[in-house]
Amino acid sequence: MITQALFRALDKKAIWLVAILLLAAIAVPASNLLLPEGNPLRLPNYAVPLFGKYLTFAMLALALDLVWGYCGILSLGHGAFFAIGGYAMGMYLMRQIGTRGVYANPTLPDFMVFLNWKELPWYWYGMDNFWFAMLMVVFVPGLLAFVFGFLAFRSRVTGVYLSIITQAMTYALLLAFFRNDMGFGGNNGLTDFKDILGVPVQAASTRAALFAASAIALALAVLACSMIVNSKLGKVMVAVRDAESRTRFLGYRVEYVKLFAFTVSAIIAGIAGALYVPQVGIINPSEFEPANSIEVVIWTAVGGRGTIIGPIIGAILVNVGKSYFTGAFPEYWLFALGALFVVTTLFLPRGIVGLIGQYRAATTKREQHTPTPKQVEAGADPQPEPAE
């Protein structure tokens, strides 16, 4: 019965996506671990964590899409939730180092010994327990989003104002985490990880497992998001995006709908961050940079917001491009990224997915049934003139 409800809630595309992700979760580790060196189908060792990183970025973009694409909340601070999730994982990994640190202190991480701290701060308690740390990965970003969202949505902070204060939030966290006395390693962040769940982080098998975990987590996030957006609640979210006041006057508690979307989205972002950290091996305050959060927005926009598959495509494409560009022409990457922002907003309001939809609509001559993105734009959202 549950499976039936699940299938009803999912559209075909989402099922395909989940299937592809699960396939990747098996195929990539298998190709890396089972095939012999030199086999053309074998993935090199460096590629596994790299692809895993792309998947966590895709998950972050999906999280942002849930609030921006479906609920109309442009958060410029989603990188903060990602980073907090990452820090929670980083704290767990730091505690696993144990006596193998430079100062060989069994409980205190090196940077605390360096700062001459005598005991663990209270917020580090329990972080040596994996399950407790994973609880924190979910709980802390969720709580921050809940409190922040509760305050912001209750007093109807919307539009550009909301974007700016989310940016202020991540900027404040950036400054805070740079401080040494916060107890999160200051400028250097947390790094030099050794073990995760008793196995070495750097090992090829661990990396393959982390990739699989990322793919499965992303698949679960896709399932969760498409269940949400296909439910009645999801329809209300879209209604909030398109005409907030109207939805409110129809009797919906807009602020609770937004709060729900924002909190769920922050939790997904936090999990993505937690998967990101062991694969790149470091978490530092620069993850809180407002610029990072804005970059996430462009991944989502490039892929196509308001779709489940769009942000995933966007995140992976942009990051593959970034890896290529920063290697081949480092000085042109920011030009390319900047141009991407401008071109996407001007010519691709619905992203790549929208472009494909448009193309398909044009070739199958079914314009009457599937409105082109232009019509969606114009019909769905008679945006009032700004600051009238």
Partner 1 sequence: MNILRHVAALLVILGATFAAIPAQAQIADAELTTLVDALAPGSFKDRETAIGNLVATGDQRAVPVLETLLEGELYVDEATGKVVFTAASGGKGAISDPVTGADLSDLDEDGLEKVKVNNSLRRVLRTAIGQMTLLSDDSNTRLSAAQSVLRDADPAQLELLDSALAAETDGAIKRVMEQARAVIMLKSPDATIEDKAAAVPVVQAIGGRDALNTLTTALANAPDELKPAIQSAIDGLARDRAAWDVAQNVWFGISLGSVLLLAAIGLAITFGVMGVINMAHGEMVMLGAYTTFVVQEIIRQNAPGLFDWSLAIALPAAFLFTGLVGVAIERGIIRFLYGRPLETLLATWGLSLIIQQAVQRIFTANIREVGNPSWMSGSFELGGLAITWNRFYIVIFAALVFIALLLVLKYTAIGLHMRAVTQNRRMASAMGIRTPLVDAMTFGLGSGIAGLAGVALSQIGNVSPNLGQGYIIDSFMVVVFGGVGNLWGTFVGALTLGIANKFIEPYAGAVLGKIIILVLIILFIQRRPRGLFALKGRSIEA
Label residue 69 exposed, middle or buried (CB < 10 Å: 0-12, 13-18, 19+): buried
Find the binding residues for partner 1 in span 130-159 (CB under 8 A): 148, 151-152, 154-159
Which of 220, 337, 355, 380 contacts partner 1 by CB under 8 A? 337
x/- track of binding to partner 1 for residues 273-312 (CB under 8 A): -----------------x---x--xx--x-----------
Which of 122, 198, 327, 385 contacts partner 1 by CB under 8 A? 385
User: What's the closest the beta carbon of residue 181 comes to partner 1, in angstroms?
Assistant: 9
Structure tokens at 325: 């560009």
Residue 254 to residue 289: CA distance in whole angstroms: 30
Contact status, residue 320 vs residue 79, Cβ threshold 8 Å: no
Instruction: State how beta strands 199-200 and 195-196 pair.
Output: antiparallel
Note whether 48 binds partner 1 by CB under 8 A: no
User: What's the closest the beta carbon of residue 162 comes to partner 1, in angstroms?
Assistant: 9
Note whether 256 binds partner 1 by CB under 8 A: no
Stretch that binds partner 1, among 78-86, 111-119, 202-210, 379-387 (CB under 8 A): 379-387
Contact status, residue 55 vs residue 222, Cβ threshold 8 Å: no
Residue 334 or 362 with smaller CB distance to partner 1: 334
Which of 115, 175, 203, 250 contacts partner 1 by CB under 8 A? 175
User: What's the closest the beta carbon of residue 193 comes to partner 1, in angstroms?
Assistant: 27
Residue 208 or 298 with smaller CB distance to partner 1: 298
Stretch that binds partner 1, among 36-44, 162-170, 219-227, 313-321 (CB under 8 A): 162-170
Residue 283 or 298 with smaller CB distance to partner 1: 298
Note whether 380 binds partner 1 by CB under 8 A: no
Taking the CA atoms of residue 289, residue 295, residue 297 and residue 299 in that order, the dihedral angle to the nearest 10 degrees is -150
Note whether 164 binds partner 1 by CB under 8 A: yes
> Among 351, 323, 221, which residue's Cα sits nearest to residue 273?
221
Note whether 386 binds partner 1 by CB under 8 A: yes
Which of 6, 23, 35, 339 contacts partner 1 by CB under 8 A? 339
Residue 203 to residue 108: CA distance in whole angstroms: 25
Note whether 334 binds partner 1 by CB under 8 A: yes
Note whether 167 binds partner 1 by CB under 8 A: yes
Residue 51 or 148 with smaller CB distance to partner 1: 148
Note whether 345 binds partner 1 by CB under 8 A: yes
Note whether 32 binds partner 1 by CB under 8 A: no
Phi-psi region of 310 (alpha: psi -120 to 50; beta: other; left: phi over 0): alpha
Residue 26 or 334 with smaller CB distance to partner 1: 334
Note whether 2 binds partner 1 by CB under 8 A: no
Stretch that binds partner 1, among 96-104, 275-283, 312-320, 328-336 (CB under 8 A): 328-336
- Binding residues for partner 1, rule CB under 8 A, total 49
Interface residue list for partner 1 (CB under 8 A) = 74, 148, 151-152, 154-161, 163-165, 167-169, 171-172, 175-176, 178-179, 245, 290, 294, 297-298, 301, 331, 334-335, 337-342, 344-346, 349, 383-388
